[in-house]
Structure formats: C-alpha cells, structure tokens
Chains A and B, each alone.
Chain A
Amino acid sequence: MTATRSATPVVERYSRAVRWFHAATYVTVLVLLGTGWWLLTGHEGRPSPAARLTGVSDVALHTYVGWALTVIAALGVTFGARAAATFLRESVRYDRGDLRWFVRWPAALATGRFTRHEGHFDPGQRIANLALVGLLATLVGTGTGLAVVAGGASYVWLLRLHTWATYVITPVLLGHILIAAGVLPGYRGVAQAMHLGGRLRVAVAQRVWPGWLERHASRVTAAAGSVSEPTGGTPHG
C-alpha cells in the first residue's frame, strides 16, 4: 500500500517484504565484504572494528554471517518464489531501443534525461542484477564449501573462486550503491524505492522507470485503486 503524508505524489515500487529482504541481504553482504577484505589484506588475527564491536573474531564473524546470508537467500527463493521469478524475468529482458538507452546513459547520469525503456529495471540495472546474483551465488556456494571442506586441494580451488568473485563483485556493489543511493543527479530520489517506507516520488519513477510506472498505474486503476499487488502499490497523485 502507499501512503501520502505530503502533497508530493508517491508510489510504492516494492512491497514491505521485498524491502526487508533487500535490507537483510545488504546488511549481511556489507559485513561479509568488510570482513572478507580485512582477511584478504592480511589482517587476520587483528580484530577489525566489526570484530571488536561484536566480540567475535573476523573469521568467525565472516563465517556466521555467511551462513546467515545463505539462509536469507534460501528463504527468499522459497517464500518469495514469485517475486524471484519476476526479478529474473525482468533482468533478462531485452527490448528494441535498449542499446540507445546505454548510449545516452553517461550524459543522463548528470541531466536525468534517460532514453525511455519499458522494463521494471533500466537496462543497466538488469546487467548489474544478473552480475550480482551470479556473483553472490558463487560466493555463497564457494563460501559454504570453504566452511565445510576446511582444507586440502578442493579448498584451494574454492578459495580461488571465492577470492576472484570478491574482486569482481566489489566494484559492481560500489557502483550499485552509488547509483541506488541517489547521489548522482540523474538518479536523485531513487533510494526511497527501497527505503523509508518505500514512498518513491512519482516524478522520479517517471524519469527512471517510465514504462513500469505506466503499467503499474493502469493495473492499479483496473483494480479500482484499492488493494496493493505483488510488486508494488498505488500511485497517488
């Protein structure tokens, strides 16, 4: 559902369950990224700020939080199967004209004048989604492997894959955070899609996800504007 606490028209792009899943994922991923880089840069045995705060060694913290992420992912695909299917379908989507979106994208980062696209995600987000899901799956798979195997030849390979996936995912995550935080002028206001009650300004949705907003609005109108649906809520304006 959507709330309008101010005169600004807002739209709910993600349900509360999706927003909590996203938050749980990024809290665990950030701890894993931090402790992982701490270990990778040769600080093992010296407690990081996170280890001091929790009183748990970095290795143990990394492994416990790794299991937590594994459980979150398993719960997500089990109880959010429909949302996960929609997410994947929308992430592999390709429409004519999407290449033009990429050509205009660098300038649009500053101006906000994106080429229109029809997806739930913009074409750049779709690539980032696929990269993140693939790399996180690799990290969870190899990470649980490292926790279980403990040593030997298979450990060496799992560790190599785990480390390389870390190198690749780090810039992708940083890019995602930079864009999703709404720091760049073109993406200003997008953070509310996932945070602070999910009240995204309609003008922002119009600028960044125009095709989705139109479909969403017409679905809501068809449903007499009363009940919220799986991927979002009601645009108010």
Chain B
Amino acid sequence: MRKTVKTWRYVAGAAVGLALALGLTACGGGQSGGSSGAMSVSVSEPTAGSTVALPFSVRVDSSVPLGATSTGRHHVHIWFDGNADNYQVVESDTTQITDLAAGQHTMHVSLRNANHSAAGAETEVSITVTGGAGPNPTGSAAPPDYGY
C-alpha cells in the first residue's frame, strides 16, 4: 500500500508538472498559432465607407490560407459593432452577409487560429446598409444569419 501511494505521488507530480508546462506554453505560444512571421488580414470588398444592400459579399485577403477548423488552417471571425460574441465563421476568402439592420455599421474582421484564439491580425471597415431589417433603434446589428 505504501509503495502504491508513493507511485501515485510520482504520477500526480508528473501530471501537475505537465499541466503547468502546458499552461505556460499556452500563455506564451497561444497567439502564434504555430505559424511564423507577422500575419495580416484585410477586406477588399466592401470598401470602407461604401453603401451596400443585403445580401452583400465580403472578400477577405489573408496572408495565410483559410480553411475549416478540421484542416488545422486559420479562419476569420466577422462581427458587427460591439457584438464580438455573435460572429460569423468564415473558412474561405468570401462569404455572404444576409441579415443585418439598415444603417451604419462597423464590420470587424479577425484572423483566428484553428482553435479560434486570435492570430494577431484584425481590421475593421465602416459600411452603411440600405434596406434590410430597417433602422435598428439601439444601433446594434441583428445577429447575422449563418445559414446553418
């Protein structure tokens, strides 16, 4: 029994050590996403300050190839105004926005690692939407329809 307890203490020590090591690595390396060099993302369509009607296309230019999470590639999160938790996942260079209140919006585009952590490249574009769901009194965008 004593021997078992001792062995367990070693196993436990190793487990805690491993968890701490992984934790430290996560803090230090989580943002890099395993790619080297500075990454960038920009929006070529719609252009800043433009007026669009629903549905409209968004074209992103990324310095790294985009793909589904299951491929291990990066992807992009797009959200409007302050709704950072309500976002559209974009796994290729283009996507469609189908649901957004009429009015002025700031479109946020954030390059993400496959595990959704920020890859360190972001941009934002101001646009005006005509038609759509009508002016939103609170000024915030309606959640986009992701088409799931």
Contact = CB atoms under 8 A, between A and B. Distances in A.
The answer to whether A binds B is yes
Interface string B1-41: 00011001101110110010011011001101111000000
A47 interface: yes
Interface in A196-211: none
Contact of B32 (A55, A63, A85, A150): A150
Nearest to B27: A148
Contact of B8 (A67, A84, A148): A84
Contacts of A85: 4-5, 8
Given A148-B30, A150-B29, A151-B115, A78 B86 contact: no
A43 B87 CA distance: 10
Size band of the B side of the interface? 35 or more
B72 A155 contact: yes
Interface in A61-83: 63, 67, 70-71, 73-74, 77-78, 81-82
Contacts of B4: 85, 89
Q: Is the interface of A mostly helix, strand, loop or mixed?
A: helix
A82 B5 contact: yes
B71 interface: yes
Interface of B: 4-5, 8-9, 11-13, 15-16, 19, 22-23, 25-26, 29-30, 32-35, 69-74, 77, 84-89, 113-117, 143, 146, 148
Interface of A: 42-47, 51, 55-57, 59, 63, 67, 70-71, 73-74, 77-78, 81-82, 84-85, 89, 144-156, 159-160
